[in-house]
Amino acid sequence: MRDINDPLIAAIRLLGSALWTFVMAVPQSLLIGFGRVAASRRVARLYWRGIAWILGLVLVTRGDRSARHPTLFVSNHVSYLDVIVLGALLEAAFVAKAEVRGWPAIGLIAKLGRTVFVDRRPRKSLEHRDEMLDRLAKAGESLILFPEGTSHDGNRILPFKSALFSAAEVKDAQGRHIAVQPVSLAYTRLDGMPIGRLWRPFYAWYGRMALIGHFWRAVGLGLTTVEVEFHPPVSLDQFASRKALADHCHALVGRGLVLANSGRQPAAPGAAATPQTA
């Protein structure tokens, strides 16, 4: 695979990202410390919007984002870049595997974003599931979930784990099951040129890929178009089971990914081809 990374661009973007993180970490820490959840969510989104701009991510959206609070957003998972993209578009906290907590730099950023860390061990899983439910039910906080449970190559999606949809059982202040919004996310163009299977591994992080080396290559690329489609929200009471809800979301997200990767999505009305389109 031909290396299209520019080391100078990578170095400049890494320095810019580090400086922006340092600037934003202080107010975010204070807001979290004083329990200002709503304000901390807005600051988190501002932070991710800045990182997206620094890294040259052009965000093109389709569909309407759910206006209900809380909402459980469920998306396919391509790489760590997904967090930047969705964080820039949504005022919501992420649900991540517990290992992320200990990752250098990324773990600290995740904590500042009030990420819910989910442990896969049965002994801890109920405790972390309860934290997810509390965030949705008591705090009324929206969450972003990657129900595949892991990232993949960006060409297709893995089956959704229906157990992760237990959060959809939560009811809002009006006694309704919370909204669940499927989201398709695809990396489609590099400097205006379609990204095919040859270039997709520059963005998709999966398998035994080394994180640091992959990140260095990814941040040295040109302007990257990321297409995000928000499908119509649904709720658990519209389906016979969590499995049926998971299957419905999987079908919509998968179809959106295929259409975006193939370039067959209709043009997004009013979407400007500039970094940080939201």
The domain locations on the chain are 7-262
Mean pLDDT across the chain: 86
Rg of the chain over all Cα atoms, to the nearest angstrom: 18
**Percent helix, strand and coil across the chain, each to the nearest 5:** 45, 15, 40
Q: What is the mean pLDDT of residues 167-179?
A: 88
Tally: H helices and E strands in the chain = 7, 8
pLDDT value of residue 35: 85
DSSP assignment string, 66-80: P-SSSEEEEE----T
Question: Going by DSSP bridges, is the β-strand pair 57-62/143-145 parallel, antiparallel, or unpaired?
Answer: unpaired
pLDDT value of residue 86: 95
Q: What is the mean pLDDT of residues 121-130?
A: 59
User: What is the spatial distance between Cα 227 and Cα 213, in angstroms, rounded to a whole number?
Assistant: 25
pLDDT value of residue 121: 59
Q: Are 231 and 181 in contact (CB under 8 A)?
A: yes
**What architecture is domain 7-262?**
3-Layer(aba) Sandwich (3.40)
Provide the 10 A C-beta neighbour count for residue 138.
9
* Torsional sign, CA 22, 275, 263, 190: negative
User: What is the spatial distance between Cα 174 and Cα 163, in angstroms, rounded to a whole number?
Assistant: 25
Instruction: Label residue 123 by pLDDT band (50, 70, 90).
Output: low
User: Tens of pLDDT along 37-71?
Assistant: 889 999 999 999 999 999 999 999 999 999 998 99
Q: Are 61 and 277 in contact (CB under 8 A)?
A: yes
pLDDT value of residue 229: 97
User: Tens of pLDDT along 133-162?
Assistant: 888 877 788 999 999 988 877 788 999 998
The residue to which tokens 């932070």 are assigned: 47
pLDDT at 20 over 50: yes
Find the distance separating the first CA and the last CA of the chain, reported in whole Å.
32
pLDDT at 272 over 80: no
Instruction: Label residue 267 by pLDDT band (50, 70, 90).
Output: low
User: Tens of pLDDT along 186-231?
Assistant: 999 999 999 988 888 888 888 778 888 888 999 999 999 999 999 9
User: Tens of pLDDT along 81-118?
Assistant: 999 999 999 999 998 877 877 776 777 788 888 888 87
Q: Are 44 and 88 in contact (CB under 8 A)?
A: no
